[in-house]
């Protein structure tokens, strides 16, 4: 029985490709289930999205203030087959038209990943199709290819999601050099935790983004975490604790504080370090094209700050539409296509890897 809290969205974007081009040559069925979105997409020639079905569980996990892994995997099991069927139907193709199946095999929640990997392997076995395992972060980066025909490696990419914060040199399709990483929380995680601290609920990122527009970003000066000897690394535990201390001090005095000012000031502190380090990295490594991806790339203030800095430096900025920033299978199809084209194949022994590394 279909859960009424879960609706299917077909998140295709208009990237100006005509019908002829959409038919493409290589047709990928992509599957993504690493966290709380069950998604399947049909992508042709890596950049043309024929369908991108996303079944989000946010409405379910909201009640608990965050993703409950056991519930997530059960919901993936309920959704995976209908989501794949809907992706094929919306794209107007059958499994016989598919050249390869690409699936996220890590990093992520193990129970969630296993559902997607299991479904992809079952189809690959039944239809005798090749299977390609895709790294989730490579997927986020590749989301940028879908709407930007002119974006080609090499370029610099800022990856900001619920699980990752990286400055990445994209040397070629699927070839990455990690320049900066977080030493503690990922930036999306910091957004979610701060939102909970000031009473905004889950998922915190979009709520802070919205509320910050009504606040003063200079009202409170929160720390900008730096790491000695590692100019491109990040630390968000300091700013997170500073917000907690600020809120506790008001609560103890039984005084109220401005949620909007805290949201705006926290967001400003985080954006300051993300933008300055990305621009510095692009300058030092000699890149004039910068891309940003991952759920936090939806953040309106981050996009504006990056745009302003890129304009000032004569750099070109790329970012996906919001629906392609958060988890979706089209981005896995884009990344998977380039892996497939350079000969990457996995066997039916492909396994999910919760802490799959990226370097
Ligand atoms: O990429 P994603 O969908 O999942 C992971 O791979 O982690 O990112 C989810 C994260 C969450 O932490 C969410 O709060 C954050 O992206 N996020 C935002 C915004 N929209 C989503 N953070 C800040 N501003 C937003 N507008
Ligand atoms: Zn993600």
Mean pLDDT within 125-136: 98
Q: Is the pLDDT of residue 244 over 80?
A: yes
Report which of 168, 169, 265 is spatially closest to residue 212, judged by C-alpha positions. Answer: 265
- Residue 78 alpha carbon to ligand 2 centre in Å: 21
Residue with tokens 């080609």: 152
Measured distance CA(356)–CA(359) in Å, rounded = 9
Per-residue model confidence as pLDDT tens digits over 141-190: 999 999 999 999 999 999 999 999 999 999 999 999 999 999 999 999 99
- Percentage of the residues of the chain whose pLDDT score is greater than 90: 88
Mean pLDDT within 233-252: 97
Ligand 1 pocket check: which of 65, 296, 329 to mutate, most ligand atoms within 8 Å of Cβ?
A: 296
pLDDT of residue 266: 98
pLDDT of residue 58: 85
- Quick one: which ligand is closest to 266's CA? 1
- Quick one: which ligand is closest to 186's CA? 1
Mean pLDDT within 347-351: 97
Measured distance CA(102)–CA(312) in Å, rounded = 39
Mean pLDDT within 221-233: 95
- Residue 199 alpha carbon to ligand 1 centre in Å: 18
Measured distance CA(247)–CA(264) in Å, rounded = 14
Q: Whose CA is nearest to atom 23 of ligand 1?
A: 205
pLDDT of residue 3: 78
Is pLDDT larger for residue 57 or for residue 157?
157
Task: Give residue ranges with CB within 6 A of ligand 1.
Answer: 35, 161-163, 188, 191-192, 203-206, 209, 294-296, 298-299, 326-327
Report which of 100, 141, 275, 262 is spatially closest to residue 194, judged by C-alpha positions. Answer: 262
Q: Is the pLDDT of residue 21 over 60?
A: no
Measured distance CA(140)–CA(293) in Å, rounded = 6
Phi and psi for 262 in degrees, rounded to 5? -65, -45
Q: Where are the alpha helices (DSSP H) in 11-163?
A: 19-23, 58-61, 69-91, 110-127, 136-147
pTM for this entry: 0.94
324 HSE (CA, 13 A, CB side): 31
Residue 51 is given by DSSP the state: E
Q: Whose CA is nearest to atom 1 of ligand 1?
A: 295
Per-residue model confidence as pLDDT tens digits over 22-42: 566 899 999 999 999 999 999
Q: Is the pLDDT of residue 13 over 90?
A: no
| Tokens standing for residue 248 | 């506790």
Q: How far apart are the first and last CA of the chain?
A: 41
Q: What is the b/e burial string over 248-284, where b = at least 16 CB atoms within 10 angstroms of the residue's CB?
A: eeeeeeeeebbbbbbbbbbbbbbbebbbebbbebbee
């Amino acid at each position: 029985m279909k859960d009424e809290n879960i609706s299917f969205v077909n998140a295709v974007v208009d990237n100006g490709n005509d019908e002829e081009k959409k038919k493409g040559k290589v047709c990928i069925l992509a599957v993504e289930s690493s966290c709380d979105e069950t998604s399947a997409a049909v992508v042709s020639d890596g950049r043309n999205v024929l369908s991108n079905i996303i079944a989000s569980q946010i409405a379910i996990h909201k009640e608990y203030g965050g993703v409950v892994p056991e519930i997530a995997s059960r919901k993936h099991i309920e959704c995976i087959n209908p989501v794949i069927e809907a992706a094929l139907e919306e794209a107007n193709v059958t499994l016989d038209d598919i050249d390869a199946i690409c699936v996220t095999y890590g990093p992520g929640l193990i129970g969630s990943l296993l559902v997607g990997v299991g479904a992809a392997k079952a189809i690959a076995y039944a239809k005798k199709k090749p299977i390609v395992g895709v790294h989730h972060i490579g997927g986020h980066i590749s989301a940028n290819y879908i709407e930007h025909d002119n974006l080609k490696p090499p370029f610099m990419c800022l990856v900001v999601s619920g699980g990752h914060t990286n400055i990445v040199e994209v040397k070629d399709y699927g070839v990455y050099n990690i320049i900066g990483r977080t030493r503690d929380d990922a930036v999306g995680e910091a957004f979610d935790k701060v939102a909970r601290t000031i009473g905004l609920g889950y998922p915190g990122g979009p709520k802070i983004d919205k509320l910050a527009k009504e606040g003063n970003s200079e009202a409170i000066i929160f720390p900008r975490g730096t790491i000695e000897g590692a100019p491109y690394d990040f630390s968000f535990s300091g700013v997170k604790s500073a917000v907690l201390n600020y809120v506790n001090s008001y609560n103890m005095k039984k005084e109220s504080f401005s949620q909007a000012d805290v949201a705006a000031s926290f967001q400003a502190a985080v954006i300051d370090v993300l933008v300055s380090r990305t621009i510095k990295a692009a300058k030092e490594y000699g890149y004039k094209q910068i891309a940003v991806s991952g759920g936090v790339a939806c953040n309106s203030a981050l996009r504006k700050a990056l745009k302003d800095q890129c304009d000032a430096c004569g750099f070109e900025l790329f970012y996906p539409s919001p629906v392609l920033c958060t988890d979706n299978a089209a981005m896995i199809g884009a990344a998977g296509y380039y892996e497939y084209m350079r000969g990457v194949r996995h066997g039916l022994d492909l396994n999910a890897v919760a802490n799959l590394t990226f370097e």
